[in-house]
Amino acid sequence: MPVPRGAVATPQVVEPPIGPRVRIEPRDGAAGPRDRIAEPHHRFAPPPPGDPPLTAVDATTALPTADASARRRVILASVEAVLVPIAAVAVAVGLFSVFLVALGKSPQTFFELLWRGGFGTAFSWQNTLTRTAPLIFTALAVALPARLGLMIIGGEGALVIGGFAAAVVALPFLGVAPAWVILPVMFVAAALAGATWIGFVGALRHARAVNETISSLLMFYIAVAILNFFVEGALRSPADPNKPSTTPIGSENMIGVIPGLEVHWGLAFGVVLAIAAHVLMTRTTFGFAARVTGGNVRAARAQGLPVGRLMIAACALAGAAAGIAGFFEVAAILGKANASLVAGYGFTGILVSFLARHNPIAIPPVAVLFGGLAAAGGLIQRRMGLPDATVQVLQGLIFLTILLSETVYGRIPFLKPEGRR
Amino acid sequence: MSRILLSRRTLLKSAAAGLVTAPLMGIERAAAAGLTIGIIYVGPRDDFGWNQAHAVAASELKKVPGVTVVEEENVPETVAVQKTMESMIKLDGAKLIFATSFGYFDPHMVEMAKKFPDIEFRHAIGLWSKDKHPSNAGSYYAYLHQAHYVDGIAAGLSSKTGKLGFIAAKPISSVLQNINAFAMGARKVNPKATVQVIFTGDWALPVREAEAANALADAGCDVLTCHVDSPKVVIETAEKRGIMSCGHNASQKALAPKGFITGAEYKWETIYKNFAALLTKGEKLPNFERGGYDKDYVQNTAFGPAASDAAKAAATAAIADLKANKPYVAGELKDNKGNVVVPAGKIIDNYDVFLETTNYLVEGVIGSIT
Amino acid sequence: MSDALTTVAVAMFAGAVRVSTPFLFVSLGEALTEKSGRINLGLEGTLVFGAMSAYAVSYLSGSPWTGVLAAGLAGSVFGMAHGFFCRLPKVSDIAIGIALMLFGTGLAFFFGKGFIQPTAPRLQAIDFGFLTSDPQLKVALQINPLFFIGLALAVVLWWALANTRFGLIVRMTGDSAATAKAMGVSVDLVRFVATTIGGFLAGVGGAFLSLYYPGSWNEGLSSGQGLMAVALVIFSRWNPLMCVAAALLFGAAGALGPALQSVGISQGYHFFNAAPHILTLAILIASSSSKRSLKGAPGELSITK
């Protein structure tokens, strides 16, 4: 599928924010190597030299990678990919320290507690990883459509509907079927419900050009209304008078934890799903078509790509990911569907996806970072008497500096392959 | 796994935690104490409502010698609260956990109680039962509906239209009890009185609460009360509309200098003080602590200017009855769909857990749970 | 029943007037920003920070209008930050917006702790109650001046975008940065100014929330109104007059849930409460079409490409 480079890399590509890496800035001309360096999967996971290019884009740019200077470029790009985010976090830490000092608090204590609460002990890791699991799914729900240039911010709605569907389909099986029947049924129901929910958003976009950002946000509120209507009404279990919920699926049907950890299987599944999404986006025709569409819809149409179907498929996959997050909330944590499903995982997932630059393989580590911050937030509150919003301020700062650091890629003198721009 | 964690806790306790080289003042302080108590709030500790009421009252516990209190706010009712409990236990060495939000109980607190049999857990409201739940868990609850019943009496006698309004967050038992008690009080003194209820759908939705207050005022209600996290908006909106109001949770008298009648207030400090006394003596906390006016767990706000003399007299009499633990719920009681919920002749004792499983609105309440 | 119908109708009218103002200010500001070719998703943070700073300043200074001004200024600082950051190459305006949303709400919650409990002086309404004898309408006609300022702003903005040099430059920048550059216009400067003004207006919208309706500061005050208002801009097709219509519609629909319950129609209140969202989605679906691209959409806008 040879695609003219220009079609993929017209300057008007702005969204998705992965765009910049596919985009060739006008001032860079058609400098293939620059583009190559900026490919997302190289930044986070540099492939071994000689990695066989599987897409047309790679094929055109990969030709020069045979020589040593290209190898050097890849290494430099990897160094850059590590150094720049670290520097960005350092800047955020510096700014936040000033903020703390201004408040009369010790930055040293703060960051020691942050480390301790998030990563410093075995328990901290359990805590962090438990909070990580749902974020991987909800971030994937943002990342996949983003590669097509679709900005879905209502993944929370698909999580809610997925979790609700899982709890509801389990009802007729309870006490009748064993867990190995019930859980797969719940899983499929959650994934399907989520896929339908966001798939509908994609279909609206395709069939009626309804903006997906706004429709997914609106549908989140509708999802919550549906959940509460049934959970507080027809499907309410008498078991808990003070927290309206569906009938509990029972501990015998709950998903256990990963051996050696106290984290449920959702984490492992999330990582697998992230890798699968990565493969899908980088190694398949679907992924290539999606990226072309994300680069330039008109060009994709001109190439005869089924843009509408791609959009709906990406949205459905995204919704399935969010729905699976809902499944794990129900099957591994809550044991029932109730308003606790609306916990903001979907919205935090947006942050995670953006920080991971909508790159599926980068989502798990970024989710760990967010999980760690959340895990440490409690310890900081308790030890330093700081309000919970403190960690939110720090999150905002880190987010800002990492996003701003995008601008320095390729502009650091000692990391430039040619030593100059 | 648990052995590793145990050793970690021991490490912590010895204050020689060589895990981090730099001294961590907080950890040493927390670990050096005889008993560390963790308290968890679902919202901000200073929300001028439910969470603040707990936070203020729980400060009683800090006065107990040798006790260290660690607190965490804005903890959602997800696995996050399990991890917060664990973190308090493992990193702070907490031996007693208070969880103050409805949704913390099942499954989160129950799970943690099973996992940490040596740690005591207590939940505000949760319906702990000996057969179903671990013995190191428990719950405490104040019968605020008794004070709402008194509110209803005062409101029924102060109202001119006989139409009262109730703005509620969610149709859960503790909320329904308050609505029903308010209605029963009002209809005791004015059998024609009605209580119009509006559910906002969540605990803190200030704009919708204000809209609901306006809608009720438009519909002719001349007394409003509420059960939401922060009643400030409802009371102030009622005052702006020139109608009367009854408070909830804490004193809102100052917010309505013209229209305030009285209000239902928790006295969590009595409970926490009792707990503190038990802890001082080194005794275990009760698993199932309940009480209302008889134990000084609830009170009514001092009457405001809108309370009529008749209202004050009747309310004061009702308070005296409740202090003497006289039941106020008796048959025949119908729900607002016409079903009999308490048969004629039956009297419901104030301590009957039947009240805590309320899932209906009584006759005289206009509204629907779903 | 006709009584009940009237009550609901009047409640919706009153709700439209009371609830729409923050939506109006945020969406007008965002419309201007988006017309210049950038999207600022962070106005939720700006709105919340504006609400907090307005309440705090009103409490500390004793003057609510000083609070409004402070909220506007605080909002413009957020706008400036967005405008400045996004001029850097390769920085995504959507992502920066989300970051500022997080940062703004975080800061507002952090500094707002001490202002939840105090009672600050609020903005007063103008009473048009003399126009009617109906008691319910009398109340509905107590209208805050900011509502009228918002309406006037919408007309001015609509006119200015279509008829002034300023409007032309903004639209040109939004439609094609290359053309604007060719004409000697500083694209970054135009967008910086447009985002700053957008931030100012969002801050004022927040002031309305904390100082008038519902008129108090707490952390649940906005619950997503800023985000919704940004979404309403797309719904309004970037037309300031349509922003007024959208804000009014949203406000009126928001009054539906409480109003229906107040007249005893309460079964299914969850859906009545979600009426603004359901209605907006329905209208959006009905009024969109794949045949024509979004009319009025700025060509440079990332979110509608």
CATH value at residue C92: 1.10.3470
* Local confidence band at B200 (pLDDT 50, 70, 90 cut-offs): very high
Give the integer Cα–Cα distance in Å for B276 and B293.
20
Chain A: touching chains (3 or more CB pairs < 8 Å) = B, C
- With an 8 Å Cβ cutoff, are C258 and B201 in contact? no
pLDDT attached to residue A83? 86
For tokens 């499903």, the residue is: A341
Cα separation, B255 vs B207, in Å, equals 18
d(CA B70, CA C275): 42
> For the segment C233-291, what is each residue's pLDDT rounded down to a tens digit?
988 989 999 999 999 999 999 999 999 998 888 888 999 999 999 999 999 898 887 76
SS3 B74: coil
Give the pLDDT band of residue C2 (cuts 50, 70, 90). low
Q: Which domain holds residue C234?
A: 2-287
Which residues between 58 and 87 in chain A have a beta carbon less than 8 angstroms from any beta carbon of chain C? none
A15 touches chain B (CB under 8 A): no
Residue C83's pLDDT is 96
C304 within domain boundaries: no
State yes or no: pLDDT of A124 exceeds 90.
yes
Q: Is the Cβ–Cβ distance between C238 and C34 less than 8 Å?
A: yes
What are B317-333's pLDDT values in tens digits? 999 999 999 999 998 99
Is the alpha carbon torsion for B70, B72, B73, B76 positive or negative? negative
Position C201 pLDDT exceeds 80: yes
Which residues lie below 8 Å from residue A243, measured CB to CB, with a gap of 6+? Answer: A338, A339, A340, B77, B102, B103, B105, B106, B172
pLDDT score, position A7 = 36
DSSP-based three-state secondary structure for B121: strand
Looking at the complex, report in whole angstroms how far the Cα of residue B42 sits from the nearest Cα belonging to chain C. 13
Q: Which residue has the tokens 């965002």?
A: C30
**Is the Cα torsion angle C219, C220, C226, C231 positive or negative in sign?**
positive
A362: pLDDT strictly greater than 50: yes
More confident residue, C204 or A409: C204
CB atoms within 10 A of CB A201: 31
> Which among A227, A382, A383, A386 is the top mutation candidate for probing chain B, defined by the most B β-carbons within 10 Å of its own β-carbon?
A382
Question: Tokens 């006709």, residue?
Answer: C2
Minimum mean pLDDT range among A144-153, B31-40, C113-122: B31-40
Domains of chain A in start order, with CATH, are 5-75 (no CATH), 106-385 (1.10.3470)
Judge whether C296 lies within some domain: no
Structure tokens at C301: 């806008």
- Residue A45, chain C, CB below 8 Å: the answer is no
For residue A140, pLDDT beyond 50: yes
C255 contact B CB<8A: yes
Q: What pTM was estimated for this model as a whole?
A: 0.87
Amino acid, single-letter form, for residue B260: F
Structure confidence at residue C138 as a pLDDT band (50, 70, 90): confident
pLDDT confidence band for A247 (50 / 70 / 90):
very high
Residue A149 predicted with pLDDT over 80: yes
Q: Is C30 part of a structural domain of the chain?
A: yes
Using an 8 Å CB-CB cutoff, list chain B residues near A238. 357, 359
Least confident of A53-62, A399-408, B47-56, B153-162: A53-62
C300 is a domain residue: no
Interface test with A, best of C98, C111, C292 (most A CBs within 10 A): C98
**How many Å apart are CA A383 and CA B70, to the nearest integer?**
7
Model confidence at A11: pLDDT above 90: no
Determine if residue A347 is left, alpha or beta; phi over 0 gives left, psi from -120 to 50 gives alpha, anything else beta.
alpha
d(Cα A173, Cα A407) in Å, to the nearest integer?
54
Residue C83 lies inside a defined structural domain of this protein: yes
A85 CB within 8 Å of a chain B CB: no
- Whether residue B31 has pLDDT greater than 70: no
The whole-angstrom separation of Cα C29 and Cα C22 is: 11
Strands B120-124 and B96-99: parallel
Buried b vs exposed e over C68-97: b needs ≥16 C-beta within 10 Å?
bbbbbbbbbbbbbbbbebbbeebbbbbbbb
The pair of structure tokens assigned to B315 is 């309310």
- Cβ atoms of A109 and A322 closer than 8 Å: no
Per-residue buried b or exposed e for B105-121, using 16+ beta carbons within 10 Å of the residue's own CB: bbbbbbbbbeebeebbb
Q: Is A207 near chain C, with CB under 8 Å?
A: yes
Q: What is the pLDDT of residues A366-398, one digit of tens each?
A: 999 999 999 999 999 998 888 888 989 999 999
Q: What is the pLDDT confidence band of residue A416, given thresholds at 50, 70 and 90?
A: low
Q: Is residue C298 in some structural domain?
A: no
Instruction: Please indicate, yes or no, if residue C293 is contained in any of the structural domains.
Output: no
The contacts of residue A333 (CB under 8 Å, 6+ apart) are A264, B78, B79, B107
Q: What is the pLDDT of residue C291?
A: 64
- Number of CB pairs < 8 Å for A and B? 141
Percent of chain A residues past pLDDT 70, beyond the cut: 83
CA distance B15 to B57: 30
Q: Provide the number of structural domains found in chain C.
A: 1
User: For B81-123, how does the pLDDT look when each residue is reduced to its tens digit (9 = 90+)?
Assistant: 999 999 999 989 999 999 999 899 989 999 999 999 999 999 9
